[in-house]
Amino acid sequence: MKKNILSFLLISYLLCQTAGFAQQDPPRLDNPTSWSLVFIPDTQSYMKFKRNQPILDLMVNWVDEHIDALNIKLVVQVGDLVEQNGLVNPDGLVANQTGTQQWKAVANFFSTLDKKVPVIATTGNHDFGIVNVENRETAYNEYFPIEKNHFNQQMIRDVALDETGMPTLINATYEFVSPEGRKFLILVLEFAPREASLQWAIQTVNKEAYQDHTVILLAHSYLNRDSEHIEVEGYPITDRNYGKAIWEKLVRPSKNIQLVFSGHIGAPDDKAGHVGFRTDLNAGGKKVHQMTFNAQALGGGWHGNGGDGWLRWLEFQGNKVSVKTFSPFFHISPSTRHLAWGTEEFAPFSFDLD
């Protein structure tokens, strides 16, 4: 009996060691013929403090170094690129960078990828107004123009008009063909889109040219931590549509939107408070997988390091999509590498596209 117990303990120890070692291995594809999409959450808390900015730089350089190993073909970001769009006098407590400094920094970090892989980002509430969507003014178009990224310029298809009647990239579509030949359309919507923007999106995804595409929607505010569609938020804008309205007016009636990516939500040092996921059927009877992922209040809360470097990479193999949650920030050092993989039930998972 004693011998059996010792054997059991030894086997358990070896399994634990093996599992720990596997987590420390460099990230690799499950299938060498797969391709990857990298999902970068809200970057605002990296930008507001200069001391945090190198973490985003590390994340972007990790993507750069793994473009070939993970066959990365697309990078998406779900808004709140900065914390304060128009801040001119930071107090050093909530931020020590002006809005201009934050925009320059985030645009510069992503420039590492501009000639290597498309980077498509949407806008969040903090990307408008002074500090939090007091109005619809944003510096996004100045710091992320279409000519910034070589691939984005080739992929751009449709743009909507802003409130002044000018075409901008805060509502736009990009066409992408995967290595397997699947046609994707990435639809970017402004934060809490205006009714005109939402109607433009409805008309656009229903174009005959896109009927056979798989549409990926990037919408900043969409699901809460309970994976429910957000109904209303208390921002000082009146012409707006949040998650529930976006679902009811655009996503559910569509026949080709199959993926919705969003960010926005968070809770200090609570991983579960930064994520959401649900699957529903659209009007075409196809599954719509809706994923919210953020990290901005991890690593010390709202005034911590900005998010512990967490990102997600999605491996596409045929219709199967495997999601992994990973931190290049933790992985870079052997002393913290055991923390680099998300192991919660919501961290690694998979789903199938129709």
First CA to last CA distance, the chain: 52
For the chain, list the domains and their CATH numbers: 30-352 (3.60.21.10)
pLDDT tops 90 at residue 268: yes
Round to whole Å and give the CA distance between 203 and 201: 5
Provide the pLDDT confidence category of residue 163 given band limits of 50, 70 and 90.
confident
Provide the pLDDT confidence category of residue 26 given band limits of 50, 70 and 90.
confident
Q: At what angle do helices 99-110 and 53-65 cross, to 10 degrees?
A: 20
More confident residue, 117 or 20: 117
CB atoms near residue 180 (< 10 Å): 12
Round to whole Å and give the CA distance between 317 and 287: 17
pLDDT tops 50 at residue 104: yes
Residue type, 8: F
Round to whole Å and give the CA distance between 240 and 189: 12
Tell me the pLDDT tens digit for each residue of 202-258.
999 999 999 999 999 999 999 999 999 999 999 999 999 999 999 999 999 999 999
CA dihedral 272, 274, 278, 283 (to 10 degrees): 170
